[in-house]
Amino acid sequence: MFEFNPVDIGITIVNLLVLFLILRKLLWKPVSEFLEKRRQLINDDLDNAQRNREEAQKLLEEHRQLVAQNKGEAAKIIDNAVRQADLRKDEIIAQAGQEAAALLEREKAEIAQEQAKVMQELREDISNLSVAVAEKMLARNLTAQDQEAIFTAVLEELESHAN
Amino acid sequence: MQGPKTVFTLFGFPITESVVNTWIVMAVLIILALVLRRRLELRPGKAQNIAELLVDGFTGIVKSTMGEKNIGFMPYMATLFLLILFSNIIGIFGFRTPTSDINVTLGYALMTFFSIHFFGVKAKGLGYLKGFFEPIFVIAPINIIGELARPVSLSMRLFGNMLGGSVIMALISGAVALFVPAVASIYFDLFSGILQSFIFTMLSMVFISLAKD
């Protein structure tokens, strides 16, 4: 029950060392390394996630700024357009006024011309008529000198009437 | 109770029951290791969870008792613990426990003894041997006896506990054949076996790290 047996002691030590080497190769090392690798991986993943979140936050901020900026620009563009439209409206109205004035002017000129023509015709008619009247009243042919004198007198009278 | 029987002789050396049972335990542990590490995946399955628990647990214990710098002892200490543990509780399955043989426990204790002094000299050089003459040189013989007592106490503690357990279990089984041996076995084979393997491994770790600092 209590005998020392150096062979058994030796075999036991060899057993322990052999099992140690086998288990180290089979279990302890690979699992330890695997755990370390996974820890690394998880750390990396967490770091990555953190970085991505920060980046996303930054992008969001940028977009917000951009949108605000664009809103301002849009307002400016609309403002510009309204101002330009106002300008154009005034221009169009002014042009229309000018055209109307020109048209009126032309009409007036035409009317004046017509008036002058009518006046001329009237004057000729009256002179012919007055000559005929004078001939009838005198019942005889006047000399060219008489005719001239009478015509001038009648004309002067008419003109004084017309004025 | 008789000593371990000789099962067969190899090259003229008698191979005892203790050695054969240790080989059985080793075979079981190797098969277990193969099963546990079969597939290492990022999302662990049941087997991998056990493997991770073992590795994490032993790493934590070695780290807390020996310090971060001695983490390299984890594979040896884990192997020592599992080998003694399974040797202790193999009694439940009707085998003669290898650890109730003084030659087996002395073998383990001698490994610890050699490790203490090997790593002590490796870490401190000749300064380690000078440590035996402190605080004064007169104390040196006592120190040396103290060092020699360590493997003796380690091996005797384990051997005595396991042999005593076996003896008591045999006595109880002889006295009451029903129910009582089952309950007693939980204490003497299982609890005592786990406790003693833990004590042996813890003391080995403490001694080695003490010798290194």
CB atoms within 10 A of CB B199: 15
Residue B15 has pLDDT above 70, yes or no: yes
Asked if residue B4 lies in contact with residue B101, where contact means CB atoms within 8 angstroms, the answer is: yes
The chain A residue lying nearest B59, using CA atoms, is A32
- For B158-210, write each residue's pLDDT tens digit: 999 998 988 888 898 888 878 888 888 888 888 999 999 999 999 999 999 98
Task: Give the mean model confidence (pLDDT) for residues A74-79.
Answer: 92
pLDDT in tens, B71-95: 889 999 999 999 999 999 888 887 8
Token couple for A137: 């009243």
Q: For residue A86, what pLDDT band results from cuts at 50, 70 and 90? A: very high
**Cα three-residue angle B23-B25-B28, rounded to 5 degrees:** 110
Residues B91-138 have pLDDT tens digits of 888 788 899 889 999 999 999 999 999 999 988 888 888 888 877 888
Beta-sheet pairing, B6-10 with B13-16: antiparallel
Alpha-carbon distance values, B3 to A9, A14, B91, B165 (Å): 15, 22, 15, 15
Q: Which two tokens stand for residue B142?
A: 């006592």
pLDDT tens-digit readout, A108-129: 999 999 999 999 998 888 888 8
Show the CA angle centred on residue A57, arms to residues A52 and A59, nearest 5°: 95
- Selected for mutation to probe chain A from B101, B159, B163, B166 (highest A CB count within 10 Å) is B101
Q: Which residues of B touch A (CB under 8 A)?
A: 1-3, 13-16, 18-19, 22-23, 26, 29-30, 33-34, 36-37, 40, 42, 51-52, 54-56, 58-59, 74-76, 78-80, 82-83, 101-104, 106-108, 110-111, 163
**Which residues are paired to B9 by β-bridges?**
B14
**What is the rounded CA–CA span in Å between residue A124 and residue B105?**
163
Tens-place pLDDT, residues A12-34 = 999 999 999 999 998 888 888 88
Tell me how close the Cα of A49 comes to any Cα of chain B, in angstroms: 18
Predicted local distance difference test score (pLDDT) of residue B1: 53
Question: Which residue's structure tokens are 């076995």?
Answer: B185
What is the predicted pLDDT for the residue at A7? 85
* pLDDT of amino acid B82: 93
Q: Which of B14, B30, B104 sits opposite A22 (nearest CB)?
A: B30
Whether the full predicted model's pTM is greater than 0.90, yes or no, is: no
Q: Is-contact A27 B51, C-beta < 8 A?
A: yes
Instruction: Please say if the pLDDT value at position A59 is more than 60.
Output: yes
